[in-house]
Structure 1
Amino acid sequence: MMTKKAFSRLFPSLSLTRSSLLVGAFAFTSLLNSASVSALVLDADNFQPLVPDKEQQAASIHVSRQLLLSHYRKQPIDRTLSERIFENYLDTLDSQRIYFFVNDVEEFEPYRFRLDGALKTGQLEPGFNIYNRYEKRVIERLRYLLTMLDAGIDKLDFNKKESLLTDRKDSPWLTTKEEMDDLWRKRLKSAVLSLKLSGKTDKEILKTLKTRYESQLNRVLQTRSEDAFQAYMNAFTGVYDPHTTYFSPRTSENFNINMSLSLEGIGAVLQSDNEYTKVLRMVPAGPADKQGQLSPADRIVGVGQGKDGEIVDVVGWRLDEVVDLIRGPKHSTVRLEVIPAGNKDETQTKVINIVRDKVKLEEQAAQSQVIEVEKEGVTRRIGVIDIPAFYADFKAMQEGDPNYKSTTRDVKNLLKGLEEEGIDGLVIDLRNNGGGSLQEANMLTGLFIKEGPTVQIRNSRGVDVLKDPDPELVYGGPLVVLVNRMSASASEIFAGAIQDYGRGVIMGSQTFGKGTVQSVRSLNHGQIKITQAKFYRVSGASTQHKGVIPDIELPSVIDKTEIGEDALPEALPWDAIAPVDHTKYTSTSDILDQLKGRHETRFNATAEYKLLLEQIDFLNERRETTSLSLNAEEREKMKLELDNKQLELINKSRVIKGEEPFKSMEEKEKHDEELAANPKKDKELDFIAKESAEVILDLIEFNQRFAANNEKPASYTLR
């Protein structure tokens, strides 16, 4: 089994955002772990305030030292940092400002500039005092909801014209109990209305919500001091950067198990998002990825077992408990009820069936195909290599197997096969590739350049430069690299190097921007995953925060305000260092305007592109919704409009593909269930991949023209 040290060395670019975790191939752990939950609702008055123990006090000192001595961002733990920790902690506990009163926050105010000294000396009382008040307020709210339910949901007036603000993060803290009660009355009313519009009876609604709130109350009442400590420590580490995280002993154990790739699930990375569990990304070639219906930023509200099992409401559950429901035996089915990304209305849910499995290395392997594109009577053959991840079979490598699988080895073999088929150009598809092995990103870049540096890594000791270890140029022809917002880390290193060397055209949307390196360090009590270095391109520009900006940019349905490094709080900034010497094969800037012009002309006439713009407009319209009506008639009208618009967009896509339109959303959902039972094994080329082949044809034409007129050397060796 690979050691932690070996893992950190080979996977310095593989990391996760705060409050998320990758379980090998299958998401997951939680910021706040808990003991098993009792089936009985405990008496809220019996809740005992949490207190820190000596091990936690010592761990606070150790975390402080690690951050001071080892973190890439050199910042003192002083009054200025104390204020940021204070604000971050309040935001972690109550980002929507629905629990704390203004007088609570005023009572905490003396801590604002005292947390620095307290954390460095192991005085945890400030953090625990705030957490205990938070727990008290949560208990009060849950008891209030249960009391209202006991009075009967028929007491709620759905004819009244009122609304609920969907995002309160910038709202003031509430002042009085009457204001707080009114807010929570509206929240309850919205929850009831959502269930009514999803077809549930009053009896079913009452049962669902009582179960939900009693379950949440149980969880609060069984919170342990470890939960408070981990939340407080992560508010501390989070002001350094979003990838620096404290793991409690239990979370550390899960993290280590997860990294051994020994668990089975759906193949997704999840994170906590207030009372919801949110999808961060899918693991390439995992069950969710192959099933195709789960998307980044979807919120999971229910989990069911088997094709017909009852869906359990998981709103308000801890992340680790949701994960326990999602995990299960290989080849078994789990049903996820999700609110699709961008939806503010909780009535807009869908159920997704996913068959659990392990991600096999061979299924993550790069794959190739050839497409033929005709232009002015000439047919060109363009190779497309899809690379889902930067992988390597480390076990086989350590055992000395000369045929061990790795991204670079596989792509090299695919390139030889494509050249035997006589390709005229090549597309490397890195969309949704979240990264992986830095070593593989370095060696893969070497297949497309003769020699030279590929990436710079700056840490406290200085700057290390990784270089192409092999002088062989495996492919020197026209090249387009496809990226999107989910292309991260190692993908950004490769795409950035190709762009800096002028070896190809980068096409797609701005990448994720994950340009930092983490390692895991053991403490006396738990572990800390800490950011220690930063990636820089050979041009000197960082991949951090900005990612890679494509030469030809395409619009995306992914919301950049929710997904991406620049969407994360306290993300390290973009900057630049000195470039390193490298060969510039060509300057695409000389022909970029012409490439863009031709591309835009083609795209503007493409039905798929017009539909993509419609989908983006539809999603943006939903994202911009700031409130929900609590009037039954208005809410039902809004739901009907959304359903009709969604069905319209789905059917437009089907017509473009030559498929029969759905008559209703029910027919569409039935089709999805059938598709889930038999997911497609082969990835179809979409219109963006086909357009990238057209861009290659333009590249070939421009370079032939330059060569014929002796205006400048041909940019590429034409095949």
Structure 2
Amino acid sequence: MTIAENIMARRSPVPNIRGGVCRAITVALLLSTPLGLQAKVDPASVYEPVAPTIEQARANILIARQLQFTHFRDLNISDELSANVFEAYLDYLDGQRIYLTKADIEKFDQIKGQLGSALKTGQLQPGFDIYNLVQQRVIERLKFAIGVIENGIDKLDFTENESILVDRSEADWVADSKALDELWRKRIKNAVLAQRLSGTKDEAIADTLLRRYEGQLKRAYQARSEDAFQAYMNAFTGMWDPHTSYFSPRTSENFNINMSLSLEGIGAVLQSDNEYTKVVRLVPGGPASKQGELQPADRIVSVAQEGEKPVNVIGWRLDEVVDLIRGPRNSSVTLEVIPATASDETMTETIAITRDEVKLEEQSASKDTLHLQRGGKEYTIGVITIPTFYADFQAMQAGDPNYKSTTRDVRELITQLKAEGVDGLVIDLRNNGGGALHEANDMVGLFIDKGPTVQIRNANNDVQVLVDEDPSVAYAGPLVVLTNRMSASASEIFAGAIQDYGRGLVVGSQTFGKGTVQAVRPLNHGQLKITQSKFYRVSGGSTQHKGVIPDIEIPSRIDKTRIGEDALEHALPWDQIEAVPHTRYYDFSSIIDELRQRHDQRFATSPEFSLLQKEIDFLTKQRATDRVSLNLNERREEYEQIERTRLAIANARRELDGKPPFESLEALEDWQDQQAADLASTDDEVDFIIREGGQIMADMLDLNSRMASILTPQQLAAQTPAVTSSP
């Protein structure tokens, strides 16, 4: 977590560990007037090259020094680094290889190996030369696209047996501008086909595409020196790790607003992803999270205010997209997104979200109970869901005896569940992106007598050990912790400690793997967010990169190749340090194989799991699609098959819920829109993953009578001696 995030935790009930977010801004923090609609651009306009400033050169020198002498990773600025910076910079500017040609790339050969030495001394011109050439090529391509549309999309032939590569990030650079013309002709055909298949008329398609390309062209002509500098610096800082990044003065302003105010908007964390703005994660309790359609890794294509036409935001700066999404409470904003599951960037969905404030009580821990029958005996299992690790520091500092925090709320919920006579407890940390570190430390203390909870190592190899010094134990009985890929930072610290102490089983999917700590440092021009420490478990292994591996795994819809620390370029590796003495309360090795076998048997006959697996298989197939047809008939067949599968999966879920099926995909989408408009309509039914956590708990109670009663802290601590190795 960053220093700034610690500040935020004192002022706002927002998670203050970013769970793998790099170069991110939280959307819609203040009330703001959205940017105006795009204007047409004179095709005769001339691009004015941008140039570095003295302030930027000084900031560059300061950044280089900070990276070399204070970053956790020991990395020298070398010729090899120069080549990597060059590749990362090109990836940011033209990640899909649709603007530059092989001849353009060859022009850069002379400076490719010299960027490192230039970056050491604030010589920014080479980076700006690359930026200016890319902008010129962007303008050329967009003018070509506008010309194709204005010539009439009815001139495009959709009977040819053509296809287009979906992801060109690893493709060869095309030879020349003629080859680029052919590539862009196919891109336009692909965009037209996607809208035709969704029922849009050609006139509307042409209007949409013209506004898209004219908007991007306008942004290209409006390029600023700061755009080039921020892109170049982030290609440079990203060599150390993905969470080290440069914030321009404008981005710093947004970041500092985020740190100091409660959220008011849609509640989503965004980052730049080449020419798109990508959703990193959703804030628990926020409008987007409650609405349910927007998902991590979705890319935003356009933004529409209530009653207005959509504004295409492809190619926009991140801060400007944030400004556009901001707006007053209770107003509506509609996002057109490319879903993370889409096989093709022309496949978009529209999502209407009502802006609102993210309230602390909606992020608070909550409880439920499960009642399971086993062999004539009924087990009552308590469930505590924790969306984030929060603390109301303002109320605490004001002396409010009833201030809210994760640990205080969970302690009270445990008291209530024990009064209900629960036989075991499930802690649900799925989608919990982290938060206040001290809350993770204190919450571990609710389940252990006392002892270390996490180790923090800095660049000098100094290790700080956080310790729970409170000998009281709120709950000493059997425990299951649920995790998924979006469980990050503080969640991983808690889950890892519970696993290391043998206090419970971790069930679900591998966590995010965000095990680094950042600090935000001021520069003469903007700020630098820099990684300075790493988290380690009490058993010595880091939570970085690897995360927490569950004892019993449950498949997830989330694509691990796109989301997670190990999906990020230049992420710090997993490693380990010395374990610290800690008590091993229970050895699950004698029962874990039987627990897994029973779990597998249940899932083999579970209709919910069968449906989940169908969804995963469908999404995997979609993600694996590398080419799409540009033949109308072939593409229609592909499209209809996808739509039939979507409807079948939705109706299978409706059947499981005892609800009537949707007659058509349109009916499904109308229902989704209705749900989106009514944020108060929530489904309180416990999902089947939580129920499976309860079933695993019942198995634990069946298999080992030692766990069938809640032990006293003294009995619990006396079970086994302290150990210093990982379980």
Are 1:140 and 2:140 matched, yes or no?
A: yes
Once the two structures are overlaid, the 10-residue window that deviates more, 647-656 or 393-402, is: 393-402
Per-residue deviation at 1:15? Answer: 5.8
Displacement of 1:422: 0.8
Query: Residue 13 of structure 1 contacts residue 515 of structure 1 at CA under 8 Å; is this kept in 2?
Result: no
8 Å contact kept, 1:89–1:235: yes
CA deviations 1:141-171 (Å, max 9, x no partner) are 0111111122211221111110110011111
The answer to whether the 8 Å contact 2:481/2:505 transfers is yes
Aligned counterparts of 2:437 and 2:44: Cα–Cα separation in 1: 51
Correspondence for 1:456: 455
CA distance in 2, matches of 1:439, 1:705: 32
Paired-residue identity, %: 56
Letter in 1 for 2:168: R
Q: For residue 681 of structure 1, report the CA deviation from its aligned partner.
A: 4.2
Assess, with a 3 A threshold, how the Cα gap between structure 1 residues 545 and 26 changes in structure 2: closer, same or farther.
Answer: farther
Q: How does 1:343-382 map to 2 (within 5 A)?
A: 343-346=342-345, 348-382=347-381
Question: Which position in structure 1 is the counterpart of 2:692?
Answer: 691
CA offset at residue 346 of structure 1? 4.7
Q: Does the CA-based 8 Å contact 1:480-1:505 persist in structure 2?
A: yes
1:544 is matched with 544
**SS of 2:357 mapped into structure 1:** coil
Q: Is the 8 A contact 1:326 1:334 kept in 2?
A: yes
Extract structure 1 runs of 4+ deviating beyond 6 A: 8-12, 24-28, 34-38, 705-708, 713-718
Write the distance in 2 (CA, Å) between the matches of 1:717 and 1:340: 52
Structure 2 unpaired stretches of 5+: 720-727
Q: Distance in 2 between matches of 1:341 and 1:443?
A: 36
Q: Which residue of 1 aligns with 2:110?
A: 110
SS in 2 for 1:171: coil
The residue correspondences of 1:180-329 to structure 2 (distance < 5 A) are 180-306=180-306, 309-329=308-328
Q: CA shift at 1:70, angstroms? A: 1.2
Within 5 Å, give how 1:550-569 maps onto structure 2.
550-569=550-569
Following the alignment from structure 1 to structure 2, what is the Cα–Cα distance between the partners of residues 41 and 695? 62
The corresponding residue for 2:704 is 703
One of 11, 17, 20 as aligned partner of 2:21: 17
Q: Is the 8 A contact 2:392 2:404 kept in 1?
A: yes
Distance change in 2, residues 1:38/1:639 (3 Å):
closer
Counterpart mapping for 1:352-501 below 5 A: 352-461=351-460, 462-501=462-501
1:81 alignment counterpart: 81
How many Å separate the matches in 2 of 1:601 and 1:227? 55
Say which SS state the counterpart of residue 46 (structure 1) adopts: coil
Retained in 2: the 8 A contact 1:347–1:639? no
Amino acid paired to 2:185 = R
Report the CA distance between 1:264 and its aligned residue: 2.0
Shift of 1:107: 1.3
* CA apart distance, 1:275: 3.2
Shift of residue 96, structure 1, vs aligned partner:
1.3
State the 1:533 CA deviation.
0.3
Structure 2 counterpart of 1:21, which letter?
A: I
- Aligned equivalents of 1:651, 1:706: Cα separation in 2: 41
Q: Deviations over 1:178-226 (max 9, x none)?
A: 1111001111111111122222222111211111111111101011101
Amino acid in the other structure paired with 1:501: Y
For residue 621 of structure 1, what is the aligned residue in structure 2?
621
Alignment of 1:33-182 (within 5 A): 39-43=39-43, 45-182=45-182
**How has the CA–CA distance of structure 1 residues 717 and 159 changed in structure 2, closer, same or farther, with 3 Å as cutoff?**
farther
Say whether residues 1:337 and 2:336 are aligned partners. Answer: yes
2:337 maps to amino acid? V
- Once the two structures are TM-superposed, the CA of residue 249 in structure 1 deviates from its matched residue by 0.7
Matched to 1:463, the amino acid is: V
Shift of 1:714: 9.6
Question: 1:110/1:8 Cα in 2 relative to 1: closer, same or farther (>3 Å)?
Answer: farther
Deviations 1:301-332 (A, max 9, x none): 232223x5433333343333332232211011
Q: Check the 8 A contact 2:216/2:313 in 1, yes or no.
A: no
- Judging changes above 3 Å, is the alpha-carbon distance between structure 1 residues 196 and 317 closer, same or farther for their aligned structure 2 residues? farther
The 8 Å contact of residues 512 and 547 in structure 2, kept in 1 or not, is answered as: yes
The separation in 1 between residues aligned to 2:478 and 2:29, in whole angstroms, is: 34
1:336 Cα offset (Å): 2.2
Q: Provide the rounded CA distance (Å) in 2 between the counterparts of 1:262 and 1:451.
A: 34
Deviation at 1:73, TM superposition (A): 0.4
> How many residues are matched?
707
Structure 1: stretches of 5+ with no match in the other structure: 29-33
The separation in 2 between residues aligned to 1:519 and 1:36, in whole angstroms, is 35
SS in 2 for 1:436: coil
Q: Following the alignment from structure 1 to structure 2, what is the Cα–Cα distance between the partners of residues 298 and 443?
A: 34
- Looking at structure 2, the residues matched to 302 and 480 of structure 1 have their Cα atoms a distance apart, in angstroms, of 42
Change (3 A) 1:38 1:153: closer
Please tell me the residue identity of whatever aligns with 1:282. Answer: L
Report how far residue 629 of structure 1 moved: 0.7
Q: Is the 8 A contact 1:539 1:579 kept in 2?
A: yes
CA distance change for structure 1 residues 539 and 3 in 2, over 3 Å: closer, same or farther? closer
Q: Give me the whole-angstrom Cα distance separating, in 2, the residues matched to 1:273 and 1:707.
A: 50
Is the Cα–Cα contact under 8 Å of residues 25 and 286 in structure 1 kept in the other structure?
no
Change (3 A) 1:717 1:374: farther
CA shift at 1:232, angstroms?
0.3
- Report if the CA contact (8 A) 1:703-1:716 is conserved: no
Contact 1:59 1:523 in 2 (8 A): yes
- Corresponding residue of 1:609: 609
Q: Give how far 1:12 is off.
A: 7.2
Q: 1:716 to 1:305 in 2, by over 3 A?
A: farther
CA drift at 1:5: 8.5
Determine the C-alpha separation between the residues in 1 that align with 2:67 and 2:351: 41
Counterpart-to-counterpart distance in 1, 2:488 and 2:19: 10
CA deviation map 1:279-319 (0-9, x unaligned): 2211101111111122222222232223x543333334333
- In the TM superposition, residue 415 of structure 1 has moved relative to its aligned partner by 0.5
Distance 1:472 1:682 in 2: 36
CA contact (8 A) 1:704 1:714 kept: no
Match of 2:725 in 1: none
**1:277 Cα deviation after fit:** 2.6
Which whole-Å CA distance do the structure 1 matches of 2:346 and 2:48 have between them?
37
Q: Distance in 1 between matches of 2:324 and 2:97?
A: 29
Deviation at 1:81, TM superposition (A): 1.5
CA deviation after TM superposition for structure 1 residue 234, in Å: 0.3
Q: CA deviation at 1:585?
A: 0.4
CA contact (8 A) 1:13 1:516 kept: no
Cα displacement (A) at 1:43: 4.6
Offset at 1:265? 1.2
Gap change, CA 1:195 and 1:12, over 3 Å in 2: closer
For 1:208 and 1:682, the matched residues in 2 are separated by 36
Q: Is contact 1:509–1:549 with CA below 8 Å preserved after alignment?
A: yes
Taking structure 1 as the reference length, the TM-score comes to 0.94
Q: What SS is found at the alignment partner of 2:528?
A: strand
Supply the distance in 1 between the matched residues of 2:80 and 2:381 (Cα, whole angstroms). 56
1:594 is aligned to 594
Whichever residue aligns with residue 655 of structure 1, its letter is E
What is the Cα deviation at residue 20 of structure 1? 2.3
Are the equivalent residues in 2 in contact too, given 1:26–1:283 (CA < 8 A)? no
CA separation in 2, counterparts of 1:609 and 1:38?
A: 47
Residues 655/440 of structure 1: CA separation in 2 closer, same or farther (3 Å cut): same
Aligned to 1:31: none
